[in-house]
């Protein structure tokens, strides 16, 4: 990777991935873009910034040519719960941006990273130890776009030789930019409530177990996959990756070890619960570990220490 374009740089992943890429590959080599400017001070002051609406192919193409881009991180998506409220928007944004990226990557010989998600699975997928290759019949529009995206990305690789790579991210927990409209967002919001001394109202029931990952591991994961030796990749779109799995009750109890006065109550969000119930309890990510050395560092306990320390100094 020499010249990199990040689409969706203002988002939960983009805001941190852009800074990490700049640290590794040099500030001027990483272009941060989003549909709305200005970006944060950190992003705007550390390197090039461009305004791009990723559903407009010509806007991406212009920037790809201007900076001689060889790698695109396409982080444009509407998360599961928001997409479910506006399915057409979810489809148009997710698939529109992806198709544009695939075509532009084909024409300009770029490598392309596009996250998939645990949302690419559905009710008839094996829930425990979900295999890399298994039934994918999601019942959400978010999941439908993710499966379609995986298939299209593999198609562009086999048909046109475009270097497409992807992972099925679990819920991502971070302390820089809040996610928005996801089903797993509760696992971020709970830390903010704990540090602010507020009662947390959990939208999922106490037994809902889901895969999760701390943002530093998610960033390493995306970069490591894009740097991986292509001849070792048996799979491409997309690899199961996970770092931990827990229920709301388990994360609550972990936080209580540090803040014993913290209180959580359950206030179910029916739509989010339905979505979460259709996702795996935990995935088998052995292919990612074997094919490109995926190895996350943070478990629930280490992540909780780091999240609480960081948020205490931030809030």
Positions marked catalytic: 142
Is 230 exposed, middle or buried (CB count within 10 Å of its CB: 0-12, 13-18, 19+)?
Answer: exposed
- CB atoms inside a 10 Å sphere around CB 40: 16
Closer residue to ligand AKB, CB minimum distance, 104 or 118: 118
Interface with ligand AKB: number of residues (CB under 6 A):
13
With binding defined as CB under 6 A, does residue 117 bind ligand AKB?
yes
Distance between CA 315 and CA 285 in Å, rounded? 35
Pairing of strands 49-51, 30-34: parallel
Query: Interacting stretch for ligand AKB, rule CB under 6 A, among 36-44, 46-54, 85-93, 175-183?
Result: 175-183
**Strand stretches in the chain, DSSP E:** 4-7, 30-34, 49-51, 71-74, 111-113, 116-117, 128-130, 164-165, 167-169, 171-173, 200-202, 210-214, 239-240, 244-246, 264-266, 282-283
Using the rule CB under 6 A, which residue among 47, 119, 122, 149 binds ligand AKB? 119
Distance between CA 75 and CA 8 in Å, rounded? 5
With binding defined as CB under 6 A, does residue 79 bind ligand AKB?
yes
Is 134 exposed, middle or buried (CB count within 10 Å of its CB: 0-12, 13-18, 19+)?
Answer: middle
Q: How far is the CB of 217 from ligand AKB (least distance, A)?
A: 15
Closer residue to ligand AKB, CB minimum distance, 22 or 146: 146
With binding defined as CB under 6 A, does residue 74 bind ligand AKB?
no
With binding defined as CB under 6 A, does residue 171 bind ligand AKB?
yes
Q: How far is the CB of 46 from ligand AKB (least distance, A)?
A: 26
Using the rule CB under 6 A, which residue among 8, 122, 138, 182 binds ligand AKB? 182
Q: How far is the CB of 275 from ligand AKB (least distance, A)?
A: 7
Distance between CA 58 and CA 62 in Å, rounded? 6
13 within 8 A of 218, measured Cβ to Cβ: yes
> Which pair of structure tokens corresponds to residue 249?
């009750």
Using the rule CB under 6 A, which residue among 100, 132, 183, 242 binds ligand AKB? 183
Site residues for ligand AKB, window 228-287 (CB under 6 A)?
none
Q: How far is the CB of 52 from ligand AKB (least distance, A)?
A: 22
Closer residue to ligand AKB, CB minimum distance, 79 or 264: 79
Query: Interacting stretch for ligand AKB, rule CB under 6 A, among 13-21, 165-173, 221-229, 302-310?
Result: 165-173
166 within 8 A of 114, measured Cβ to Cβ: yes
Distance between CA 241 and CA 2 in Å, rounded? 26
Q: Which residue is nearest to ligand AKB (CB)?
A: 182
With binding defined as CB under 6 A, does residue 90 bind ligand AKB?
no
43 within 8 A of 15, measured Cβ to Cβ: yes
Closer residue to ligand AKB, CB minimum distance, 74 or 117: 117
User: Coil, helix or strand for 81?
Assistant: helix
Instruction: Assign 3-class secondary structure to 137-148.
Output: CCCCHHHHHHHH
Is 216 exposed, middle or buried (CB count within 10 Å of its CB: 0-12, 13-18, 19+)?
Answer: middle
Closer residue to ligand AKB, CB minimum distance, 48 or 119: 119
Q: How far is the CB of 81 from ligand AKB (least distance, A)?
A: 6
Q: How far is the CB of 73 from ligand AKB (least distance, A)?
A: 16
Using the rule CB under 6 A, which residue among 18, 33, 74, 80 binds ligand AKB? 80
Question: Interface residues with ligand AKB (CB under 6 A)?
Answer: 79-80, 117-119, 142, 169-171, 179, 182-184
């Amino acid at each position: 990777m020499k010249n990199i374009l990040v689409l969706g740089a203002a988002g939960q992943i983009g805001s941190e991935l852009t800074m990490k890429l700049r640290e590794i590959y040099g500030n001027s080599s990483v272009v941060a873009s989003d549909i709305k400017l200005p970006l944060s001070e950190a992003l705007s002051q550390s390197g090039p910034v461009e305004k791009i609406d990723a559903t407009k192919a010509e806007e991406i193409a212009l920037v790809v040519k201007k900076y001689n881009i060889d790698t695109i991180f396409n982080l444009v998506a509407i998360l599961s719960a928001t997409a479910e409220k506006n399915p057409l928007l979810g489809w148009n944004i997710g698939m529109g941006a992806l198709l544009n990226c695939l075509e532009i990557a084909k024409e300009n010989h770029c490598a392309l990273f596009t996250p998939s998600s645990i949302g690419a699975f559905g009710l008839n997928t094996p829930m425990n130890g979900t295999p890399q290759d298994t039934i994918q019949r999601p019942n959400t529009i978010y999941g439908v776009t993710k499966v379609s995206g995986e298939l299209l990305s593999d198609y562009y690789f086999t048909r046109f030789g475009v270097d497409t790579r992807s992972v099925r991210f679990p819920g991502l927990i971070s302390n820089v930019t809040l996610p928005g409209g996801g089903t797993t967002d509760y696992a971020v919001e709970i830390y903010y409530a704990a540090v602010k001394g507020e009662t947390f109202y959990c939208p999922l029931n106490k037994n809902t177990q889901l895969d999760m990952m701390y943002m530093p591991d998610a960033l390493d994961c995306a970069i490591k996959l894009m740097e991986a030796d292509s001849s070792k990749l048996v799979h491409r779109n997309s690899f199961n990756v996970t770092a931990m799995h827990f229920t709301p009750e388990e994360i609550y109890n972990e936080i209580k070890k540090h803040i014993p006065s913290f209180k959580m109550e359950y206030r179910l969000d029916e739509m989010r619960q339905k979505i979460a119930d259709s996702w795996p309890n935990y995935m088998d990510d052995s292919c990612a570990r074997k094919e490109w050395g995926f190895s996350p560092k943070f478990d629930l306990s280490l992540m909780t220490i780091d999240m609480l320390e960081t948020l205490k100094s931030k809030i």
